Amino acid sequence: MNTLKLIILLASLSGLMILIGYFIGRGKGIAIALIISVLMNFSGYWLSDSIVLHMYNAQAVTRLESPALYDAVESLSAKARIPVPKVYVIPKDSPNAFATGRNEDHAAVAVTSGILKMLNQDELEGVLAHELSHIKHKDILISTMAATVASAVVLLSRWAVFFGSDEKSSISTVAVAVVAPIAATVIQMAISRSREYEADAGSARLSGKPEALAGALAKLSYAAVERPLDANPSTAHMFIVNPLSGGVIMNLFSTHPPVEERIERLMKMKGNRS
């Protein structure tokens, strides 16, 4: 199922790139967009995790440097029966976390320094279990490649404004430049929203404490509004809560389901477990 989702995602985003290429330079633009699309898909598979980690200046940590964090990842990985991923800390006060990589053997979990200060141990384990569930469910390749290719779509759409083929098509070119990033977000939404519910449920099963993740989500959602992360919108879907602050329009196009619904589902799991 995840393989089909990956194919649909990459085909849709690549199609958007080709459309933008057409408006930039017609036949030549399509050829350029095809080349970029192939390169992005290839490099996305092998390098997208490194690109995203570098984007946020994530620093690899050892058990000696961050014992509570590392031990929690190691213990939960054993419960999930997956290899222990590499552990990274992002030097940002805004609390958040994400998982990345191409498979269980090449995976990483990254948390911000802010989340380590804000959450208690149970809540932190709930968040880590959520991210490890993404790894176990093989979501991380889809998520990470989506970020890389969506970034290229946004970049090409900006180029379209400056390199439109002729004056007559300028209105269409600007329209594509506006619509393409929105379309890329909608495609990401279709893939990522259901994944968050599944990872929440996986966290509840793995940690045995759905209420801990519910409490963490409440804190993180509030903090994201008060202290939004300076995040690339193309990577927003990777984080456990939307790192971008915004109003009604931003919420409408959020790649995450409403936090209130996620908390409600988690608390029902607690009730069923009691």
Chain segment 89-135, per-residue pLDDT in tens: 999 999 999 999 888 999 999 999 999 999 999 999 999 999 999 99
C-alpha 273/C-alpha 159 separation (Å) is 53
Element (H, E) at 123: helix 121-136
For residue 23, pLDDT over 70 is answered with no
When the pLDDT of each residue in the chain is averaged and rounded to a whole number, the result is: 80
Percent of the chain with pLDDT over 70: 61
Tell me the angle at which helices 170-207 and 2-55 cross, rounded to the nearest 10 degrees.
Answer: 100
Lowest mean pLDDT among 175-179, 206-210, 232-236: 175-179
Assess contact for 242 and 99: CB atoms under 8 A. no
**Averaged over 146-163, what is the pLDDT?**
64
pLDDT at 57: 96
The domain tally of the chain equals: 1
pLDDT > 90 in the chain, percent: 44
CA distance 124 to 118: 9
Confidence label for 233 from pLDDT (cuts 50, 70 and 90): confident
pLDDT of residue 210: 96
pLDDT at 143: 73
Tell me if 137 sits within 8 A of 131, measured CB to CB.
no
Which residue range(s) make up the domain with 107?
A: 2-273
- Round to whole Å and give the CA distance between 99 and 105: 13
Weakest-pLDDT range from 49-63, 158-172, 211-225, 252-266:
158-172
- Do 210 and 269 touch, CB atoms closer than 8 A? yes
CA distance 39 to 52: 17
Q: Which pLDDT score, from 0 to 100, does residue 174 have? A: 58
Closest CA to 130 of 271, 249, 262: 262
Query: What pLDDT, on the 0 to 100 scale, is given for residue 102?
Result: 86
Round to whole Å and give the CA distance between 175 and 180: 8
Q: Is the pLDDT of residue 35 over 60?
A: yes
pLDDT range class, residue 249, cuts 50, 70, 90:
very low
pTM of the prediction?
0.77
Question: In the prediction, which pLDDT does 236 show?
Answer: 82
Per the model's pLDDT, the better-predicted residue between 202 and 138 turns out to be 202
At residue 252, the pLDDT reads 44
| 11 or 264, greater pLDDT | 264
What are the residue numbers of the active site?
A: 131
Distance from C-alpha of 12 to C-alpha of 210, rounded to nearest angstrom: 35
CA nearest to 264, candidates 204, 179, 222: 204
| Distances from the Cα of 27 to the Cα of 51, 138, 164, 170, 231, angstroms | 30, 37, 13, 17, 34
What is the three-class DSSP state of 87?
strand
Which pLDDT band, with edges at 50, 70 and 90, does 179 fall under?
low
At 124-137, the pLDDT tens digits run 999 999 999 999 98
* Rg, the chain, Cα only: 19
Strands 59-60 and 86-90: antiparallel
